[in-house]
Amino acid sequence: MVPPEALRIPPNQDLVVFGASGDLARRKLLPALYELSRQGLLPRRGEVVGTANDGLDDAGFRQLAHDAITEFGRTGIDDRAFADFAQRLRYIPAINDPGPTLARTLRLPHRIVYLAVPPSSFEPILQELKEAGLAKGSSIIIEKPFGHDLASAQLLNRALQRTVPEERIYRIDHYLGKETVQNLLVFRFGNTLIERMWNREVVSHVQLTVAEDIGVESRGHLYEETGALRDIMQNHLFQLLALTCMSPPSSFDPEALRDEKVKVFQSI
């Protein structure tokens, strides 16, 4: 993982989280944002604006964030640090079209828009951003799965590229942020003894086990729409498989890593 001392404070910008009361936001995003705030690594100016299909207001969103950080945060919660973080938190219910309200709320010219929602919601949200005049200055983060098949993934890519340039699109598989997963590359390619034995002459088979300690819980709507196979196998497990089986990349740039992963998928 990247040590805190290697991180830089990003330029002033807002962060908009669609699906801000959902499982992903509660388990991952809000605790991570709080930790960045605690370490002084959020922009000096910029709000965290949540939106979802419920009746929360600013106070309710702050309470939701407090509960999420208490339950899922790695370092617990410090009252003073949370008070500083909570000053950034705003909430816009998405029961009706939130685009115009967002346009009135966001004061900075640049923003990150995080789509922590099911794939079927991606395109309507992108259209809302365009109609509200928010596409300019926005970077878009989308979580896997990217569509439900090749055709829908291609449609999604075209919709994204009609909204913002490719360099402002970030496709996220949060498994790749896990420390063990990141260390796999170092374990393989930083250890000549291991890498010399990491071949078909020595390795009889590769078995990937996802030993989750949680159930469906509040994610029923996601599994009804997407299914466990698309939610876990075609992204998380394939990424782990690629990191396990890929040849050494020419560099550790994203493009070089991607090219070696693609070779693994093409050989299956």
92-139 residue pLDDT tens: 988 767 788 898 889 899 999 999 988 888 999 999 999 999 999 999
* Of 66, 110, 205, 236, catalytic: 236
> For the purposes of burial, counting CB atoms within 10 Å of the CB of 65, is it exposed (0-12), middle (13-18) or buried (19 or more)?
buried
pLDDT of residue 3: 57
Structure-token pair, residue 138 = 């926005």
Instruction: Name the pLDDT band for 216 (thresholds 50, 70, 90).
Output: low
Torsion sign (Cα): 80, 14, 127, 98: positive
Q: What is the domain partition of the chain in residue ranges?
A: 4-172, 175-267
Decide if domain 4-172 falls under CATH 3.40.50.720.
Answer: yes
Nearest-5° angle of CA 235, CA 236, CA 240? Answer: 110
**Who wins on pLDDT, 14 or 4?**
14
Range from 128-132, 174-178, 186-190 carrying the lowest mean pLDDT: 174-178
pLDDT of residue 96: 66
**Who wins on pLDDT, 82 or 105?**
82
Mean pLDDT rounded to a whole number for the chain? 88
**Who wins on pLDDT, 118 or 224?**
118
pLDDT of residue 196: 86
pLDDT of residue 77: 94
pLDDT of residue 218: 63
**Who wins on pLDDT, 214 or 144?**
144
What average pLDDT does range 189-201 have in this prediction? 86
Q: Above 80 in pLDDT, residue 239?
A: yes
Q: Is 205 a catalytic residue?
A: no
- Cα(103)–Cα(223) distance, rounded to whole angstroms? 32
Instruction: Name the pLDDT band for 2 (thresholds 50, 70, 90).
Output: low
- Cis peptide upstream of residue 145 (ω within 30 degrees of 0): yes
Q: Are 15 and 112 in contact (CB under 8 A)?
A: yes
